[in-house]
Amino acid sequence: MRFRLRVCLLAATMACAALHAHATPGEIDLPAVPLAPQEVADAAPASSPAPGVVTRLMNTAKGFLGVPYLRGGTSAHTGFDCSGFVRAAYEKATGVLLPRRSAEQAEATHKIDRTDLQPGDLVFFNTMRRAFSHVGIYLGDGKFIHSPRTGATVRIEDMNGKYWRLRFNGARRVQALHASAAPISGRALYDLTTH
């Protein structure tokens, strides 16, 4: 119990320092902390995330529109592959650091039914004759955003188009996104869920 209190006080102190340093009310910029797959999956029950968190995630993801595909890419400066794009969008918008590969992202997140998809959920496709070989972020209304392939750029597509409909492999929810009604950071979430 003492450790949790100390961690919470440290997180609060860091949050105040970040707010003061950046002078941007309502925004806390704490470093992201990588979470183990089980920590991401078990952070909270499936529920609706705070609208502000989802909006920030959607805006961040859309801010990467036009960034070129690069196999193994993890940066908007050089390019993204599909899982690098998802990881970067989540880290920048929420502070949650997802695993690097799409199959690992599927394993680290909570399985949901396609009919339960909400904006911010992950959608997976079998594009390379193996499960969970491609990932994107669901935007709502049957649309998702992703970094598709060599020669293409981050773009929005319709999941109901024949190509994607036939290759749909599953939907997952990032439980950490649903853990709090307030904006979350990787550091605070890691501290609160691992001890």
Per the annotation, the verdict on 20 as an active-site residue is no
Residue 115: how many CA atoms within 13 Å on its side-chain side? Answer: 0
**Identified catalytic residue from 20, 77, 110, 146:** 146
Per the annotation, the verdict on 195 as an active-site residue is no
**Identified catalytic residue from 16, 134, 178, 195:** 134
Helix (H, G, I), strand (E, B) or coil at 156: strand
Between CA 123 and CA 79 the distance in angstroms is: 20
Helix (H, G, I), strand (E, B) or coil at 182: coil
Amino acid at site 25 = P
Per the annotation, the verdict on 82 as an active-site residue is yes
Kindly report each contact of residues 79-85 with a partner whose C-beta sits within 8 Å and lies 24 or more positions away, as own/partner.
79/147, 80/147, 80/154, 81/147, 82/134, 82/135, 82/136, 82/146, 82/147, 82/148, 83/135, 84/147, 85/61, 85/146, 85/147, 85/154
**Identified catalytic residue from 8, 82, 110, 178:** 82
Residues facing residue 144 across a β-bridge: 138, 157
Indicate which residues carry an active-site annotation: 82, 134, 146
